[in-house]
Amino acid sequence: MDDSQRVGSWRELGSHCGTAVVLAGGVLVGAVNIYLAASLLPTAVADIGGERLYAWNTTVFLTAQVVATMLVSRVLARRGNTGSYLVGFGLFTVGSVVCAASPAMPVLLVGRGVQGLGAGLSTGLGFALIHSALPRHLWVRGSALISAMFGLGNFVGPALGGLFAQFGSWRPAFVVLAVASGVMAAFVPRVLPGGHRAEAEAVPVPLGSLTLVIGAAGAVSVAGTLSDEVARVAFIALGLALVVAFGLAEKRSPVRVLPRAAYRSGSTLRWVYLTIAFLAAGVAVETFLPLFGQRLGGLPPVAAGFFGAALSLGWSASQVVSSSARRQRTVRRLRVAGPGLLAVGLAVLAVLQRRDAPLLLVLAWLPVLLLAGAGIGLAMPHLSVAAMAGASDEEEGEKAAASIATVLTMSTAFGAAVAGLLVNLGRPSMVASARCLLLGFAALCALGMLTALRSDRLAQRTATAATGGEVDMSGR
């Protein structure tokens, strides 16, 4: 029995060029901002002071971003497609202007918070509008495009931020972000379908769930700033406890952030989200790769920075090939193989860490990093589509799509906190720190293979039951 599915071409996605540009642009601007701001903050602190509040820049931004991704469905219900994007780009533009004009660090923190709200909305809207604005056979291509923007942002952000920081020009960098976001906002009404929602349709805000997630995001973000290991573990544990409390509260509440299917027994959706979470958390190792390149490989900062971005480069490039998969059996294998390839790549890289490593050994890191990043790109577009297709109706499907951004953002925050913990476990030896980090995340990403297998088995069981017990032999 043929188990192939129709997958539209990149050229066909080009016929929706305007929509694709807005979806990709919204994600790219937010992704670039994360790493660009990290590169600029030391220069900003030297100019306006506020070193004691330095670490709160990331905490404020990530917490606001997580909250905004959870509100995407509510904003769509009230504003429609065009209005929602205008709100997202508008908030990001205003936040960037506030950052550029900040006379002191508290004002900069306000700007970062507003930026986070705009970036979270734009990212969540990207996934939601793939579901509603593109035909189903283009979901894989649209998901690949958006996912590639995360990788591209991780690559471009540090380079752009480093360029501005080199000349001590941190304010113009935020102006550039504001202009880019403003241009995207002007483009939105010309290309997006309106997606009208009835004014009478009042969607309640899940305040309890929001409070728990804000607490969880804040706890793990604070954990990433602490040097005391006991306190760091305590805050990570608190964050995990609040996430569990969020899940329990959502399951019992009539007003949810995640779709109903995520809490239904036998549903694949929770396992798909977990697999996405493990893949996204694995990207946290990028933060320390430039450090290892300089301290262990003797690389100059520019070359070490490129090595740090190699994971994202492999992620972005591999999706061009991965998104062309048509057979369901192949798609299932890619979803399982992706976390496995990432785990193996990180484990091999751990073995290759040496003090005063020779140049040939350091050069061998590069293909390993590219292959590890390819694991993310092989699986992520198909996991995104599985999440979008895991809900029972149009409204729930849109919510399932928007929730991908919430899962990605929360996983990134947890990954960053755990990465700092693992690096500190290996101190004072830099080799031990590198191996602790890479082997720890290899084990974490390997769990993604188990969750992917679980989701696939449930999907096959559901498909068999739907066909009255007929088994698809080609999909085994």
Taking the complete model, does pTM exceed 0.85, yes or no? no
* Whether the Cβ atoms of residue 285 and residue 346 lie closer than 8 Å to each other: yes
Q: pLDDT 10s per residue in the chain (476 long)? A: 445 566 777 788 877 888 888 888 898 888 888 878 877 887 888 888 887 777 788 778 888 888 898 888 888 888 888 899 999 999 999 999 999 999 999 999 999 999 999 999 999 898 888 888 888 888 888 888 888 887 788 778 877 877 787 777 889 989 999 999 999 999 888 887 655 454 444 556 777 888 888 888 778 877 767 778 788 889 889 988 998 898 888 888 777 778 888 888 778 888 999 999 999 999 888 878 888 888 898 888 767 777 777 888 888 888 878 888 878 888 889 999 999 999 999 999 999 999 888 889 989 999 999 999 999 989 998 998 888 887 666 777 778 888 888 888 888 888 888 888 888 888 889 899 999 999 999 999 999 999 999 988 887 776 666 565 544 434 43
Assess whether the region 16-195 and the region 260-468 belong to the same CATH fold.
yes
CATH number of 16-195: 1.20.1250.20
* Whether the Cβ atoms of residue 70 and residue 246 lie closer than 8 Å to each other: no
Per-domain residue ranges for the chain?
16-195, 207-255, 260-468
Give the Cα separation of 320 and 310 in Å (integer): 16
Looking at residue 110, its pLDDT comes to 95
Q: Cα 5 to chain center, whole Å?
A: 27
Looking at residue 345, its pLDDT comes to 96
Task: Give 46-51's long-range contacts (Cβ < 8 A, gap of 24+).
Answer: 47/168, 47/170, 48/102, 48/103, 48/104, 48/105, 48/108, 49/104, 49/105, 50/104, 50/105, 50/106, 50/108
Fold of 260-468: Growth Hormone; Chain: A; (1.20.1250)
Instruction: Give how far Cα 160 sits from Cα of 35, 176, 252, Å.
Output: 9, 10, 46
Instruction: Give how far Cα 394 sits from Cα of 87, 124, 139, Å.
Output: 23, 16, 14
Element (H, E) at 78: helix 72-101
